[in-house]
Structure 1
Amino acid sequence: MIRSRPFVGIIIGFCIFGCTWLPAQSNCRISGNYSHIPLQVVLDSISHSCGLTLSYDPAFISQQSIASLKLNQASLSEAIAKIEAQCQVRFSKLRAGEYAIASTAPLSGTLSPIRGTVYDAATSSPLPGAVVSLPATKQGAITDAQGKFEIAAKTTSGKIIVSYLGYYRDSTTYSAGKMLKSKFSLRAIPIEITGLLVSEESDLIFRNGSQGIAMSPRQLDAVAVLGEPDVFRTLQWLPGVSATEESSNGLFIRGGTPDQNLVLIDGIPVYNTGHFFGMFHAFNADALTRVNIQRSGFSSEFGGATSGLIDIDTKPRQLDSLEGAINLNFAATSAFISVPLAGKKVGLMLAGRRSYNDIFRSPLYQKIAGNVFQTGSIFRDSKQVKDKKNSDYGIDPLSNFYDIHAKLTAKLGKRNLLEASFYNGSDNVRYYFLLLDSNNSNRIRSGEEYLKLSNHVVGLRWHHAMSKDISFNTAG
């Protein structure tokens, strides 16, 4: 009995000590106001007040701070909850009086995927090319053809902004890789504009009062055919004017045919306005000063026209400078010269052009001939016809064209201007032909033909200015 007393005393003492220590842990109360202070300071204060043993990574804890924490007789669990709400930490109880503190921040290189789809609110169709951005991390993405996007966010929470040209923006927030919504319906921004009136015209043409549209030949290089500026093909670009066919410079004006148009050069009518069946225009563009076209509403003085009027003026109206030009191409050669005479009171203009297919066999000219003569075979001489077999086919005509233009202008005082014009244009085509049947196997007919088309124009025009506002012209 005497030996057992010390052992009983030890047990009784341990029970008394344990009963007094355990309530001290559970009944711990913490008070204090912390503002912009390192987390390490707060943990040291709690550990000292409650007699806790805390295990953590000092390097990580040193990077955490408390923005604002007020504790007034708070329990240990309340203090831990408030710390976890402000810092990226989590407390884990190991045993009585011992806690381990771990980090809840994402590991370096760990990204939170954010996915969604962008639609048109009116049509519910996906919007490809919409811009999705995260302002906090300056990340972004573009939606694909199905309107879908995916961003590997660098933070666990933040704001998402979705935008598309011509639509209102939309936004939402995300947390732990989850968004409040993953489908974005954008509404189009209504745009109201006033009526738009286009009044500008091409710099190739300009309005000539109520007399129609005038064109400067200096700008005709914009529409050139076979290396030469072409007046009539340029006019085909105007509203209400169209071409008869690709290989012709004839004009359909307001539904009329080319033979219903009146073409004047220095006030004198010209009836054959093209060379080589319309492939080339009949006038040397370097010799022209103005081309005026009236598509309707012209006066009764032009009674020979029922569809359109094309009035062409030639140089020289300005008698103060020497001017000349030479143009060479694979089809023809043209030259022009304008010379002031008699103290700049008289001016002389000479212009000419000639093709040389009858001298030089140009591949370009033969291509043009193939477009004109599309049926049968055309040859230069009878020997070619005899040498051809029934199954042979060829196009090789002997042809040429030329035009000559001369104009003399004289100033007679301050109010009178006299102009004398001469124009001669000619087309000559000579060929031996061979017509075959539909199978190109038997000759139907062969022979020789000669065709000549020409223009001969001589005119005189007098311009008299009665005053600054009144003048008249007469031509014949």
Structure 2
Amino acid sequence: MKINLFEVIPWPKNSYGKTIFLMKLSFFLYLVFCFQLLAFNGFSQNNVTLEEENSSLKSIIHKIEEQTSYNFILNNDIIDVDQNFSINVIEKDVTETVALLFKNSTISYKIKKNHIILSRIKKKNGDFTISGVITDASSGETLIGTSIIVKNSNKGVFTNEYGFYSITLPKGDYLFEISHLGYTTKEVAIQLQHNMNIKIELQPSSNELDEIIILSNQNNKSQVASILGGTSNLTTSEIKKSPALLGEPDITRTVLAQPGISSVGEGTSGFNVRGGNVDQNLILLDEAPLYNTSHLFGLFSIFNADAIKVIQLYKGEIPARFGGRASSVLEVRQKNGDSKRIKGEGGLGLLFSKFTIEGPIKKDKVSFLASGRRSYFDVFFPFFKGNEAVDKFHFYDLNTKLTWNINKNNTLYASGFFAADIIKFNQEEEDGEGGFDSDLDLGWTNTTATLRWNHIFSNKLFANITGIYSKYDYSFGTRQDLGEEDIEDTFNRSIKNWIFKPDFTYYSNPVTKMRFGLSGNLYQFIPKQKIPEGNVLLDKEKAVQLAAYYSIEKQWNKLSLHTGLRYSWFANFGAESIAIYKPDLPQTPSTIIGFREVKNNEISKSYFGLEPRLALKYDFNDRKAFKIGYDRMFQYIHLISAQTIVLPNDIWKPSGEYISPLEVNQFSAGYAYDSKDQNYNFSIEGYYKTFDNIVEYKNGARSGVVDNLETELVPAKGFSYGLELAVHKNKGRLTGNANYTYAVSKRKTKSNFSSEQINNNAYFPSNFDRPHILNITANYKLSKKWEMGAFFTYQTGRPTTLPNGRLSINGDSFLTFSDRNAFRVPDTHRADISFTYTPTGNPKTNWKGSWSFGLYNVYGRKNVFSVNSTLDDNKLETGQISLIPAPIPFISYNFKF
């Protein structure tokens, strides 16, 4: 039925009436509108009170609809109403309540009138991030370099040096495979609906036989996975299985067994990497730099393997976060300490012992580590004829660490290290006037302290902020008691180092990772000398090195890129007196015409450098890869050594007015291949390096404490190139590796003055030029109780300078010498063997013991360490010195509990 509005509503007949009627109708409609507006405003001020803890979304929506005039509109196929939310509000506006409810969730909302429309946030691929740490299930120790692979895909990441991982993926269901060498591989199924923080624990392999034969799916010897070329991952287990001098596991000797690494001889301190000097290696212990890494002049390493978690060597492409050295980085990290239970280990050897204890102070929150070693050579020396003068002759070292897991986002680490060598000789002799008493004291110490804070800002941003103190001391002194007179002469040199480093890693997505940070480094070089006439005032040198860096790692389908840039700035500070020399003449004491005085804390000289880093990898498949790389490194402090070997009294010198920073450029390319079953890994890598501003001593230069040291030095340049081949066998009873290196290292002086030229500015071999090096390491599991280890090395003899004649002046004879490094000592080679017996432990106790014994230098090869030449009755006498000319047996007992 149709209704005529004009028949229902009385409608005036005249115009005036119609006007009045329309005015009344308009006023009525205006009132209706106002009431509607007031009603809306009153509705919009609806308050909500909720106290919900892990309640379903369905329940919370129902309660909001009951307390307000709003209703929710959603699609149950898109929005999961059974998911849980928590919210606690009292008399809060409904719009604020809804905003709070869906904060940090995957649900978005819109309010239209009294409707709340829910939808899912539209995100691109890679929306959700899984992050956390991976630890040892038995000890709580974080695991470095653990592989996290998304099964049935080419996506995966590795934990960083603090055990942290982060991977971003689209929503979905995933199966992750987590593997680490020496641990049982674990698969974790995750339903990825939102950002997640997951701590994953891996169980150690049930026994050593399983670890060796079965092995986890991760292979830390593979060069295919890493974008960077020229890297080596070393574990303490393989270090302990290698035969070593007196049976003590030695990290430095294990490093020397890697391709591209050499030294000037047995029993020497340090190592040389791809043609670089010993001082060109940045050696870090819990991020603190070390300046001398040997005990007893190089016979033993200062690193106690029982206190070490992992060692990483970079000699090819070096990440931008590292700087200050030009050829390599050896990163050594201590254990954090067991956070589950107290445990210890130690060893008793013929000439030294060690003990390590670790455990929780508060379980899973605070843990500690303490580890020490002490030799007792000095106990036995008096029993051997001819060694009565030895008063003290020993070394010791101590590692400590405290770890505090504050919460899932914050961890504090405090670690310390102290090592000392103490040598003292005392001699008493009688003569016609009553005799004399003389002492010789020699010693050096390393001290480091590190305070580190790990903070997770978000599931994608990780920070490591570190403060470091490092100190190296060397002292040498003699004293003669002549009865009525006491003559004393001592020299001491210290290097102090304070460092602050904030470092950040941002995990943008599964194929992009960025790392950036700053570094501030303060140096102090402090020499002291005391002579019979009194104390000698020597200039204390100060320097500052600042750096900023950025790097990015990016992966495409088959191509991977790691590139970065480091900016470094270095300044030398006064107070000091800088010699001024006559122009166009050699720098000698006789050409000094004056001095420039630099005030205290005034910059005397500064330098800066841009250090690009680039690495590219092309994967042919998951088992074959080709790599190329380029690095530029600047080094601002130098080790000035007059000898072929490095000694504790060698001088560290900062760059300054007359010593420029060392610049090294390296180009490298390589190919890596893994066998299908991961049992074998092959790699071949070639490199070419250039060196500029190398520091060399002039011919006939004075060494030691010399005023205006630059008068004894000459700048040089050089190059090195080489080819490295390596193969690793990972599974079965027989495991090990073999590598061969062909290498050339040469240098030449750059002076225009003949008195400062070495070999007339022609290229000559460096002291550590060894063209051919072969290393073979093998371990064989004889049974569950017996294991055998063997090592063989062959190296071309190092260059040396020998006399080539005799010169007589006024009846006195003097030796004349060949060109620098024109000859070589005989080639060196050595074989070592060891056996380890591990009896079945008592199941009622945690005690586990093992015996190790073997021979170092099995066939007694007399490797020539140096050649000495003297004039005796005007006759040239030449002799050869071998440090370890005979087989050295060893036996030790090691235990764990």
TM-score of the aligned structures, taking structure 1 as reference length: 0.46
Considering Cα pairs closer than 8 Å and 6+ residues apart, tell me whether 1 or 2 has the greater RCO.
2
Larger radius of gyration: 1
TM-score of the aligned structures, taking structure 2 as reference length: 0.25
Higher share of residues assigned helix: 1
